[in-house]
Structure 1
Amino acid sequence: MRRFERPFRRYGAVLTDVFYDHFLAAGWCGHCAEAPPLGEFVSGFYESVEAVRESVPAQAWEVLEHMRRADWLGSYATVTGIEMTLRRMSRRLRRPFDLAAAVEVLEKEYEGFREDFEAFFPEVRKECLIA
Protein backbone atom coordinates (compact mmCIF):
# COMPACT_ATOMS: atom_id res chain seq x y z
CA MET A 1 0.00 0.00 0.00
CA ARG A 2 3.02 2.23 0.09
CA ARG A 3 2.29 3.03 -3.54
CA PHE A 4 -0.94 4.80 -2.64
CA GLU A 5 -1.07 8.38 -1.49
CA ARG A 6 -4.11 10.33 -0.39
CA PRO A 7 -6.91 10.06 -1.29
CA PHE A 8 -6.39 6.42 -2.35
CA ARG A 9 -4.48 5.18 0.70
CA ARG A 10 -7.73 4.40 2.54
CA TYR A 11 -8.70 2.00 -0.28
CA GLY A 12 -5.20 0.66 -0.87
CA ALA A 13 -5.95 -2.95 0.06
CA VAL A 14 -9.02 -3.10 -2.18
CA LEU A 15 -7.22 -1.40 -5.06
CA THR A 16 -4.23 -3.72 -4.72
CA ASP A 17 -6.55 -6.72 -4.87
CA VAL A 18 -8.17 -5.46 -8.07
CA PHE A 19 -4.81 -4.54 -9.58
CA TYR A 20 -3.49 -8.01 -8.77
CA ASP A 21 -6.55 -9.49 -10.50
CA HIS A 22 -5.37 -7.58 -13.56
CA PHE A 23 -1.87 -8.99 -13.40
CA LEU A 24 -3.18 -12.52 -12.96
CA ALA A 25 -5.53 -12.18 -15.93
CA ALA A 26 -3.02 -10.35 -18.13
CA GLY A 27 -0.31 -12.95 -17.46
CA TRP A 28 -2.67 -15.92 -17.21
CA CYS A 29 -0.67 -18.31 -19.39
CA GLY A 30 2.51 -17.66 -17.42
CA HIS A 31 0.84 -18.18 -14.06
CA CYS A 32 -1.53 -20.99 -14.92
CA ALA A 33 0.21 -22.90 -17.68
CA GLU A 34 -1.73 -26.10 -16.85
CA ALA A 35 -5.07 -24.27 -17.13
CA PRO A 36 -6.84 -23.55 -20.41
CA PRO A 37 -6.43 -20.07 -21.92
CA LEU A 38 -8.14 -17.34 -19.90
CA GLY A 39 -11.16 -17.09 -22.21
CA GLU A 40 -11.86 -20.80 -21.97
CA PHE A 41 -11.30 -20.84 -18.22
CA VAL A 42 -13.70 -17.94 -17.70
CA SER A 43 -16.31 -19.55 -19.98
CA GLY A 44 -15.99 -22.74 -17.95
CA PHE A 45 -16.57 -20.78 -14.76
CA TYR A 46 -19.70 -19.17 -16.16
CA GLU A 47 -20.94 -22.60 -17.28
CA SER A 48 -20.29 -24.08 -13.84
CA VAL A 49 -22.36 -21.32 -12.28
CA GLU A 50 -25.18 -22.10 -14.70
CA ALA A 51 -25.07 -25.72 -13.54
CA VAL A 52 -25.96 -24.69 -9.96
CA ARG A 53 -28.46 -22.00 -10.90
CA GLU A 54 -31.30 -23.51 -8.89
CA SER A 55 -29.35 -23.24 -5.65
CA VAL A 56 -28.30 -19.61 -6.18
CA PRO A 57 -30.51 -16.93 -4.57
CA ALA A 58 -32.31 -14.74 -7.11
CA GLN A 59 -30.47 -11.55 -6.18
CA ALA A 60 -27.08 -13.26 -6.45
CA TRP A 61 -28.14 -14.82 -9.74
CA GLU A 62 -28.87 -11.37 -11.20
CA VAL A 63 -25.35 -10.26 -10.34
CA LEU A 64 -23.79 -13.44 -11.75
CA GLU A 65 -25.81 -13.11 -14.94
CA HIS A 66 -24.73 -9.50 -15.39
CA MET A 67 -21.17 -10.58 -14.64
CA ARG A 68 -21.36 -13.20 -17.40
CA ARG A 69 -22.99 -10.90 -19.97
CA ALA A 70 -20.40 -8.18 -19.42
CA ASP A 71 -17.57 -10.73 -18.98
CA TRP A 72 -16.25 -9.10 -15.85
CA LEU A 73 -13.64 -11.79 -15.26
CA GLY A 74 -12.25 -11.65 -18.77
CA SER A 75 -12.18 -7.85 -18.68
CA TYR A 76 -9.64 -7.86 -15.85
CA ALA A 77 -6.91 -8.54 -18.40
CA THR A 78 -7.07 -4.92 -19.61
CA VAL A 79 -6.54 -1.66 -17.76
CA THR A 80 -9.82 -0.45 -19.29
CA GLY A 81 -11.55 -3.47 -17.75
CA ILE A 82 -10.03 -2.64 -14.37
CA GLU A 83 -11.27 0.93 -14.70
CA MET A 84 -14.80 -0.31 -15.40
CA THR A 85 -14.57 -2.66 -12.40
CA LEU A 86 -13.53 0.20 -10.15
CA ARG A 87 -16.41 2.32 -11.46
CA ARG A 88 -18.86 -0.44 -10.52
CA MET A 89 -17.27 -0.75 -7.09
CA SER A 90 -17.51 3.01 -6.54
CA ARG A 91 -21.28 2.88 -6.94
CA ARG A 92 -21.50 0.48 -3.99
CA LEU A 93 -19.57 2.64 -1.52
CA ARG A 94 -21.48 4.31 1.31
CA ARG A 95 -19.64 7.56 0.71
CA PRO A 96 -19.11 8.75 -2.86
CA PHE A 97 -15.55 8.13 -4.03
CA ASP A 98 -14.13 7.66 -7.52
CA LEU A 99 -12.07 4.48 -7.23
CA ALA A 100 -11.60 4.47 -11.02
CA ALA A 101 -9.35 7.51 -10.69
CA ALA A 102 -6.81 5.14 -9.12
CA VAL A 103 -6.14 3.75 -12.60
CA GLU A 104 -3.70 6.66 -12.94
CA VAL A 105 -1.77 5.20 -9.98
CA LEU A 106 -1.79 1.78 -11.66
CA GLU A 107 -0.50 3.23 -14.92
CA LYS A 108 2.16 5.35 -13.20
CA GLU A 109 3.37 2.49 -10.96
CA TYR A 110 2.56 -0.37 -13.36
CA GLU A 111 5.92 -2.11 -13.25
CA GLY A 112 6.17 -1.79 -9.48
CA PHE A 113 2.72 -3.29 -8.98
CA ARG A 114 3.57 -6.04 -11.46
CA GLU A 115 6.80 -6.86 -9.63
CA ASP A 116 4.94 -6.92 -6.31
CA PHE A 117 2.38 -9.30 -7.79
CA GLU A 118 5.09 -11.54 -9.26
CA ALA A 119 6.67 -11.80 -5.81
CA PHE A 120 3.35 -12.38 -4.05
CA PHE A 121 1.57 -14.85 -6.34
CA PRO A 122 3.95 -17.81 -5.83
CA GLU A 123 3.20 -17.54 -2.10
CA VAL A 124 -0.53 -17.68 -2.85
CA ARG A 125 -0.03 -20.76 -4.99
CA LYS A 126 2.00 -22.41 -2.25
CA GLU A 127 -0.67 -21.68 0.37
CA CYS A 128 -3.32 -23.09 -1.94
CA LEU A 129 -1.11 -26.13 -2.64
CA ILE A 130 -1.02 -25.37 -6.35
CA ALA A 131 2.22 -26.43 -7.97
Structure 2
Amino acid sequence: MNYLAHLFLSGDDEDLRLGNFIADSVRGAQILVFPARVQQGIKLHRLIDAYTDTHPIVHQTKERLRPKFRKYAGVVADVYYDHFLASNFHLYSPQPLKTFAAEAYSQIQRDPKLLPERVMHFLPYMVNQNWLVSYAQISGITRALTGLSRRTTFDSGMERAGEELELNYPFYQKEFEQFFPELQAYVTQQISLITFSEK
Protein backbone atom coordinates (compact mmCIF):
# COMPACT_ATOMS: atom_id res chain seq x y z
CA MET A 1 0.00 0.00 0.00
CA ASN A 2 1.07 3.60 -0.57
CA TYR A 3 1.01 6.77 1.59
CA LEU A 4 -2.75 7.38 1.70
CA ALA A 5 -3.66 3.84 2.70
CA HIS A 6 -1.00 3.68 5.41
CA LEU A 7 -2.15 6.96 6.91
CA PHE A 8 -5.82 6.04 6.69
CA LEU A 9 -5.40 2.58 8.20
CA SER A 10 -3.73 4.04 11.29
CA GLY A 11 -7.04 5.43 12.53
CA ASP A 12 -7.07 8.51 14.74
CA ASP A 13 -3.92 7.72 16.71
CA GLU A 14 -1.40 10.42 15.75
CA ASP A 15 1.73 8.57 16.92
CA LEU A 16 0.64 5.35 15.23
CA ARG A 17 -0.05 7.33 12.07
CA LEU A 18 3.35 9.03 12.17
CA GLY A 19 5.16 5.73 12.59
CA ASN A 20 3.17 4.17 9.77
CA PHE A 21 4.04 7.11 7.52
CA ILE A 22 7.80 7.24 8.16
CA ALA A 23 8.40 3.47 8.32
CA ASP A 24 10.02 3.10 4.89
CA SER A 25 12.69 5.60 5.95
CA VAL A 26 13.55 3.77 9.19
CA ARG A 27 16.18 1.04 9.05
CA GLY A 28 17.09 -1.62 11.61
CA ALA A 29 17.98 -0.33 15.06
CA GLN A 30 16.94 3.22 14.09
CA ILE A 31 13.46 2.27 15.26
CA LEU A 32 14.67 2.40 18.86
CA VAL A 33 15.13 6.20 18.81
CA PHE A 34 11.39 6.77 18.43
CA PRO A 35 8.71 6.88 21.15
CA ALA A 36 7.03 3.53 21.85
CA ARG A 37 3.77 4.27 20.04
CA VAL A 38 5.61 5.58 16.96
CA GLN A 39 7.61 2.34 16.99
CA GLN A 40 4.31 0.46 17.00
CA GLY A 41 3.25 2.47 13.93
CA ILE A 42 6.47 1.50 12.15
CA LYS A 43 5.83 -2.16 12.96
CA LEU A 44 2.20 -1.82 11.83
CA HIS A 45 3.40 -0.48 8.48
CA ARG A 46 5.57 -3.55 8.02
CA LEU A 47 2.71 -5.87 8.94
CA ILE A 48 0.49 -4.13 6.38
CA ASP A 49 3.14 -4.50 3.69
CA ALA A 50 3.72 -8.17 4.49
CA TYR A 51 -0.02 -8.92 4.45
CA THR A 52 -0.46 -7.04 1.17
CA ASP A 53 2.54 -8.62 -0.53
CA THR A 54 1.32 -12.15 0.19
CA HIS A 55 -2.40 -11.68 -0.51
CA PRO A 56 -3.76 -13.67 -3.48
CA ILE A 57 -5.89 -10.79 -4.81
CA VAL A 58 -2.91 -8.45 -4.82
CA HIS A 59 -0.96 -11.20 -6.55
CA GLN A 60 -3.53 -11.11 -9.37
CA THR A 61 -3.07 -7.37 -9.74
CA LYS A 62 0.71 -7.64 -9.84
CA GLU A 63 0.65 -10.49 -12.34
CA ARG A 64 -1.45 -8.39 -14.73
CA LEU A 65 1.06 -5.55 -14.34
CA ARG A 66 4.24 -7.62 -14.51
CA PRO A 67 4.59 -7.92 -18.32
CA LYS A 68 4.73 -4.12 -18.63
CA PHE A 69 6.40 -3.10 -15.37
CA ARG A 70 8.40 -6.18 -14.35
CA LYS A 71 9.90 -5.80 -10.86
CA TYR A 72 8.04 -2.51 -10.38
CA ALA A 73 4.63 -4.19 -10.69
CA GLY A 74 4.24 -4.05 -6.91
CA VAL A 75 5.01 -0.33 -6.79
CA VAL A 76 2.44 0.37 -9.50
CA ALA A 77 -0.14 -1.79 -7.71
CA ASP A 78 0.38 0.15 -4.48
CA VAL A 79 -0.24 3.47 -6.22
CA TYR A 80 -3.27 2.11 -8.09
CA TYR A 81 -4.79 1.01 -4.79
CA ASP A 82 -4.22 4.46 -3.31
CA HIS A 83 -6.07 5.85 -6.33
CA PHE A 84 -9.11 3.69 -5.66
CA LEU A 85 -9.10 4.62 -1.98
CA ALA A 86 -8.79 8.32 -2.80
CA SER A 87 -11.38 8.35 -5.57
CA ASN A 88 -13.92 6.55 -3.37
CA PHE A 89 -12.84 7.95 -0.01
CA HIS A 90 -16.44 8.74 0.94
CA LEU A 91 -17.16 5.00 0.97
CA TYR A 92 -14.52 4.35 3.60
CA SER A 93 -14.56 7.48 5.75
CA PRO A 94 -17.14 10.03 6.92
CA GLN A 95 -14.38 12.64 6.57
CA PRO A 96 -13.81 14.29 3.17
CA LEU A 97 -10.48 13.41 1.60
CA LYS A 98 -9.36 17.05 1.53
CA THR A 99 -9.98 17.38 5.27
CA PHE A 100 -8.26 14.09 6.04
CA ALA A 101 -5.23 15.08 3.96
CA ALA A 102 -4.91 18.52 5.58
CA GLU A 103 -5.07 17.01 9.06
CA ALA A 104 -2.56 14.31 8.17
CA TYR A 105 -0.06 16.85 6.80
CA SER A 106 -0.46 18.95 9.94
CA GLN A 107 0.06 16.00 12.27
CA ILE A 108 3.10 14.72 10.40
CA GLN A 109 4.80 18.14 10.59
CA ARG A 110 3.97 18.72 14.24
CA ASP A 111 7.29 17.40 15.59
CA PRO A 112 9.97 17.76 12.87
CA LYS A 113 12.70 16.21 15.01
CA LEU A 114 10.94 12.84 14.65
CA LEU A 115 11.09 12.93 10.86
CA PRO A 116 13.89 11.01 9.10
CA GLU A 117 16.00 12.96 6.62
CA ARG A 118 14.41 11.27 3.61
CA VAL A 119 10.94 12.29 4.81
CA MET A 120 12.09 15.85 5.43
CA HIS A 121 13.28 15.95 1.81
CA PHE A 122 10.05 14.87 0.10
CA LEU A 123 7.43 16.12 2.57
CA PRO A 124 7.37 19.76 1.34
CA TYR A 125 6.67 18.54 -2.20
CA MET A 126 4.00 16.19 -0.91
CA VAL A 127 2.21 18.96 0.98
CA ASN A 128 2.59 21.68 -1.67
CA GLN A 129 1.38 19.39 -4.46
CA ASN A 130 -1.21 17.73 -2.20
CA TRP A 131 -0.28 14.22 -3.23
CA LEU A 132 -2.93 12.54 -1.10
CA VAL A 133 -5.79 14.38 -2.80
CA SER A 134 -4.17 14.21 -6.25
CA TYR A 135 -4.26 10.40 -6.10
CA ALA A 136 -8.01 10.58 -6.73
CA GLN A 137 -7.29 11.48 -10.36
CA ILE A 138 -5.47 9.28 -12.86
CA SER A 139 -3.41 12.34 -13.77
CA GLY A 140 -2.27 12.52 -10.13
CA ILE A 141 -1.00 8.96 -9.96
CA THR A 142 0.57 9.38 -13.40
CA ARG A 143 2.62 12.28 -11.99
CA ALA A 144 3.54 10.22 -8.94
CA LEU A 145 4.65 7.21 -10.96
CA THR A 146 6.49 9.39 -13.49
CA GLY A 147 8.43 10.87 -10.58
CA LEU A 148 9.30 7.39 -9.35
CA SER A 149 10.36 6.31 -12.83
CA ARG A 150 12.92 9.12 -12.99
CA ARG A 151 14.69 7.61 -9.98
CA THR A 152 15.10 4.13 -11.46
CA THR A 153 18.34 3.05 -13.09
CA PHE A 154 16.65 1.72 -16.23
CA ASP A 155 13.37 2.06 -18.12
CA SER A 156 10.72 0.99 -15.60
CA GLY A 157 7.78 2.05 -17.75
CA MET A 158 6.04 3.51 -14.70
CA GLU A 159 5.42 6.80 -16.48
CA ARG A 160 2.98 4.86 -18.68
CA ALA A 161 1.10 3.27 -15.78
CA GLY A 162 -1.77 5.74 -16.06
CA GLU A 163 -2.49 4.45 -19.55
CA GLU A 164 -2.58 0.88 -18.26
CA LEU A 165 -4.99 1.84 -15.49
CA GLU A 166 -7.35 3.49 -17.96
CA LEU A 167 -7.18 0.46 -20.24
CA ASN A 168 -8.03 -2.10 -17.55
CA TYR A 169 -9.70 0.08 -14.92
CA PRO A 170 -12.61 -2.29 -14.01
CA PHE A 171 -10.26 -5.20 -13.30
CA TYR A 172 -8.02 -3.23 -10.95
CA GLN A 173 -10.97 -1.57 -9.24
CA LYS A 174 -12.68 -4.89 -8.57
CA GLU A 175 -9.51 -6.34 -7.07
CA PHE A 176 -9.09 -3.34 -4.81
CA GLU A 177 -12.72 -3.51 -3.68
CA GLN A 178 -12.30 -7.20 -2.83
CA PHE A 179 -8.98 -6.76 -1.07
CA PHE A 180 -9.30 -3.56 0.94
CA PRO A 181 -12.03 -4.66 3.39
CA GLU A 182 -9.94 -7.72 4.21
CA LEU A 183 -6.93 -5.49 4.83
CA GLN A 184 -9.01 -3.19 7.04
CA ALA A 185 -10.17 -6.15 9.14
CA TYR A 186 -6.59 -7.40 9.47
CA VAL A 187 -5.28 -3.98 10.53
CA THR A 188 -8.09 -3.48 13.05
CA GLN A 189 -7.10 -6.81 14.62
CA GLN A 190 -3.41 -5.90 14.70
CA ILE A 191 -4.08 -2.50 16.30
CA SER A 192 -6.21 -4.21 18.96
CA LEU A 193 -3.35 -6.61 19.70
CA ILE A 194 -0.88 -3.72 19.93
CA THR A 195 -3.14 -1.78 22.27
CA PHE A 196 -3.84 -4.84 24.42
CA SER A 197 -0.14 -5.64 24.72
CA GLU A 198 0.53 -2.14 26.08
CA LYS A 199 -1.93 -2.51 28.96
After TM superposition, the score normalised by the length of structure 2 is: 0.60
Q: Which of 18, 23, 29 pairs up with 2:84?
A: 23
Q: Which of 106, 110, 113 pairs up with 1:51?
A: 110
Tell me which protein shows more helix as a share of its residues.
2
Which structure 2 residues correspond to residues 34-113 of structure 1 after superposition, within 5 A? 36-113=95-172
Shift of residue 58, structure 1, vs aligned partner:
4.5
* CA-to-aligned-CA distance 1:49-86 (integer Å, 9 cap, x gap): 22111332444213111110111111100000010000
Partner of 1:12: 73
Aligned with 2:153: secondary structure? coil
| Partners of 1:86 and 1:99 within 8 A in 2 | yes
Q: 1:81 corresponds to which letter in structure 2?
A: G
Q: CA RMSD in A?
A: 1.7
% identical aligned pairs: 33
Unmatched 5+ stretches in structure 2: 1-61, 190-199
| Alignment partners' CA distance in 1, 2:173 and 2:69 | 18
Aligned with 1:8: secondary structure? helix
Moved over 6 A (4+): none
Partner of 1:3: 64
After TM superposition, the score normalised by the length of structure 1 is: 0.88
